Amino acid sequence: MRQLFRFHGGVHPPEHKAVSSAAPIVQARLPQRLIVPLRQHIGTSARACVAVGDKVLKGQTIGRAEGYVSAAVHAPTSGTVVAIDMRPVAHPSGLSDLCIVIEADGDDRWIERTLLDLARMDASHVRNRLRDLGLAGLGGAVFPSFIKLNPGATAKVPTLVINGAECEPWITCDDRLMRERAQDILTGARIMATLLHATDILVGVEDNKPEALAALQAAARSLDFPADIVAVPTLYPGGGAKQLIQVLTGKEAPSGGRSTDIGVQCFNVGTAYALARAVQHGEPLMSRIVTVTGAVARPQNYEVLLGTPMAELLEQAGRTSEANGVIMGGPMMGFDIADTAAPVVKATNCLLVKSPKLFPPLPRTMPCIRCGACARACPARLQPQELYWFARAKNFGKTQEYHLFDCIECGCCNYVCPSHLPLVDYYRYAKSEIWAREQEKNAADLARRRHESRVSRLEREKAERAERLAAKAPVKKAQATVPPDSAQAAARKALAAETLARVQAKQAAAAPEPLDPPASS
């Protein structure tokens, strides 16, 4: 038995997992139109590499990774690009984003796939391929995977943690994936371990998923490499990467750092599965398992092509009359979907359909009585009641002093608050205000440096003019009728030289950066 550790706080919300975990994964219907957003990952949006009217094949790259932190996007089926424009996407803001719309031809014809020959390819080549295959973390953060698979020039990452904790209530997509495709998950984990030079593979699964644990253990026995399948106590947010790493290794990822700083890298089981498909079959990431649950007629898990409009998936799960909203993700950290025309993306692990019965309106908020229940529940060991006061008072400096940015927004504080305060909302507000102010400050800094640069350039030009004048002066004097006063000319010249020196010294002191754009002159 592996020694397990515990993280501070945590809560036990009602699980509701059985609602959707019983039935096997089914293939969602091929929609007529797929809407593929170019930004489905953290980082820079992919750049479209097809044009309206182009025929595309299933798996064809339609958006290339742009910049370092980015990943490609692919056509989920064969068909025709009918539009590249702004569409509503799944985002808390409800804003639109650039999407490629594909009219499916119904043939679902694949592009030619090439497998990744790991024995012959060097690691950086493999990572580049994974980037081109669009791999991103499927646990929710959708960080491009190839970056996390780079152990750095000298560093080794001895421990690989595969996250199958799935701590959010209602969601069962990882549970079903582990039950049905454990072998592929472990194969993916093995490839990850090779790339990271990891020696330990730990698969953490909350102990409320005995079937998944059994399936993984059975799969692990038939493999030729060791993978430790570990049942961890069911406690939200035990599926947070930091929390799972703490439970499994007892180590805390440093604030502001990465888990690799303590020799651990963590991937979701879905990501490991997608990686195995990418390597062994050359399949890009263009489908994922989505739990559709809550107030629907047939709650279960679907394998869904990315780009499938949520409305079509919900239709397939069966609408009910009491449904009154959709959450993407779980009840603790998910967000309301404003428009179900938005497509399923790499981050869509669950569509949770709300009803007044399942999600009664939250009770009235009362003043904070400083009872400290939030602090006892906080897995980051923050003092949420203090952060709340400071955020409310717009004392953003103090919120940072009290480590606002170590908040993972898990919602535990909010959940236990007897005054029903929307604490997480206050923290998000404070964070976005701080970011906005930093941006403003950066913009102001840039403007100030531009201005300084301009002033010094003008001074330099003036000095140069003065120098030219000073150089011409004796000639002019010589041409004049007044006899040249050599002593006076020399004095003038000395004065000009002195001015020049002074200006140059001043310029050197100001040390302007070469930011002066020609347009501003």
Partner 1 sequence: MAVSPHILPPAQSVTRVMALVLLGLVPATLVYAWLFGPAILINVAWAALACVGLEAIMLRLRGYPVRPYLGDLSAVLTGWLLALSMPALSPWWLTLTGCMLAIVVAKHLYGGLGQNVFNPAMVGYAGLLISFPALMTQWPAPLALAHAQLGAADSAQYIFAGHLPAGLKLDAITSATPLDTLRTQLKQDRTLSEILRQPLFGHLGGKGFELIAAAYLLGGALLLARKVITWHVPLAYLAAVGLTAGVFHLYDVDHYAGPWFHLAAPSTMLAAFFIATDPVTGATTPRGKLIFAAGAGFLTVLIRILGGYPDGVAFSILLMNICVPLIDAHTQPKVFGHGGDDA
Residues that bind partner 1 (CB under 8 A): 7-8, 13-14, 94, 169, 242, 252-257, 325, 327, 329, 331-336, 338, 354, 359, 362-364, 366-372, 375-376, 379-383, 385-386, 402-403, 406, 409, 411, 414-416, 418-420, 422, 424-425, 428
- The nearest distance, CB 356 to partner 1, in angstroms, is 12
Amino acid identity, residue 65? A
- The nearest distance, CB 6 to partner 1, in angstroms, is 8
- Which CB, 332 or 463, lies closer to partner 1? 332
- Which CB, 134 or 329, lies closer to partner 1? 329
Is the Cβ–Cβ distance between 185 and 276 less than 8 Å?
A: yes
- The nearest distance, CB 413 to partner 1, in angstroms, is 10
Cα separation, 68 vs 86, whole angstroms = 24
Which residues sit opposite 290 in a β-bridge? 302
Question: What's the helix, strand, coil split of the chain in %, to 5?
Answer: 40, 20, 45
- Which CB, 177 or 326, lies closer to partner 1? 326
- Which CB, 242 or 277, lies closer to partner 1? 242
- The nearest distance, CB 409 to partner 1, in angstroms, is 8
Q: Long-range CB contacts (< 8 A, 24+ apart) of 318-323? A: 320/295, 320/296, 320/353, 320/355, 322/295, 322/355, 322/356, 322/357, 323/294, 323/295, 323/296, 323/353, 323/354, 323/355
Q: In this structure, are strands 61-64 and 47-48 parallel, antiparallel, or unpaired?
A: antiparallel
- Which CB, 17 or 131, lies closer to partner 1? 17
Amino acid identity, residue 166? E
Can you say whether the dihedral through the CA atoms of 19, 23, 27, 28 is positive or negative? negative
Query: Among the residues of 378-484, which ranges form H helices?
Result: 384-392, 396-401, 412-416, 423-479
- The nearest distance, CB 289 to partner 1, in angstroms, is 22
Q: At what angle do helices 182-196 and 123-132 cross, to 10 degrees?
A: 130
- The nearest distance, CB 448 to partner 1, in angstroms, is 34
- The nearest distance, CB 339 to partner 1, in angstroms, is 12
Q: What DSSP assignment string belongs to 339-355? A: -TTSBP-TT--EEEEE-
- The nearest distance, CB 378 to partner 1, in angstroms, is 9
Which residues sit opposite 99 in a β-bridge? 37, 85
Is the Cβ–Cβ distance between 32 and 42 less than 8 Å?
A: no
- The nearest distance, CB 403 to partner 1, in angstroms, is 4
Q: Say whether 61 sits in a helix, a strand or coil.
A: strand
- Which CB, 28 or 382, lies closer to partner 1? 382
Q: Say whether 307 sits in a helix, a strand or coil.
A: coil
Exposed/middle/buried for residue 269 (C-beta within 10 Å: 0-12, 13-18, 19+): buried
- The nearest distance, CB 282 to partner 1, in angstroms, is 37
